[in-house]
Amino acid sequence: MSFFRILLLLFLSIPVLEIYLLIKVGDSIGAFPTVVLVVLTAVAGVWLLRMQGFATLARAQQSLARGEVPASTLFEGVLLFIAGALLLTPGFFTDSIGFILLIPYSRQWVVAFALKRALQNGSFYSASGSVYTQTSQQQADVIEGEFISHDDKQ
């Protein structure tokens, strides 16, 4: 199945699921408490997102200061952006996914999974065209170059 078909399926099925859940919860606890609950989850999610976002930004700056490529931290930033969009979308299903992405361990698992898949598929390339791997960071002490000997005796 192509990526666009999956995306189309998600854009069609998620709103239907959200409406179903809102009706069920509204039937159980009432309309006004349901609206209040949706607004409270959005406010709490944005507050948590702000805290997590600043922590992720600080980690990225520390990685850059050490001269490292903050690939996983940048992916975490993208996931935090997605979590924020999901938390601001009214509904319980999207709020659940957004809150799951705010949990550092689950977010790091998603990042590790995505990086592993991308490296297996050869999706990351450096500016020189070589595939970026985790071991390239460990071999940073190797300096390649040419040596020319100038003898004074000639």
| pLDDT confidence of residue 123 | 56
What is residue 17's three-state secondary structure? helix
In the chain, the number of structural domains is 1
| pLDDT confidence of residue 153 | 58
Does residue 152 belong to any structural domain of this protein? no
Does residue 154 belong to any structural domain of this protein? no
- Measured distance CA(74)–CA(66) in Å, rounded: 15
Higher pLDDT, 128 or 107: 107
Does residue 49 belong to any structural domain of this protein? yes
Does residue 43 belong to any structural domain of this protein? yes
* Distance from chain centroid for Cα 5: 22
| pLDDT confidence of residue 152 | 61
Higher pLDDT, 130 or 95: 95
| pLDDT confidence of residue 149 | 74
pTM over 0.75? The answer is no
Does residue 137 belong to any structural domain of this protein? no
Distances (CA, A) of 94 to 2, 13, 28, 81, 123: 23, 12, 20, 13, 28
Does residue 141 belong to any structural domain of this protein? no
Mean pLDDT, rounded, for 146-152: 71
- Measured distance CA(29)–CA(51) in Å, rounded: 31
| pLDDT confidence of residue 130 | 43
Distances (CA, A) of 120 to 33, 117, 124, 126, 133: 47, 5, 9, 15, 10
| pLDDT confidence of residue 2 | 84
Does residue 14 belong to any structural domain of this protein? yes
Tens-digit pLDDT profile for residues 83-119: 988 988 889 999 999 999 988 899 889 888 887 887 7
Q: What angle do CA 76, 65, 110 make, to 5 degrees?
A: 15
Tens-digit pLDDT profile for residues 7-55: 899 899 999 999 999 999 999 999 999 999 999 998 988 888 888 888 8
Does residue 116 belong to any structural domain of this protein? yes
What is residue 76's three-state secondary structure? helix
* Domain extent for 39: 3-123
- Measured distance CA(53)–CA(58) in Å, rounded: 9
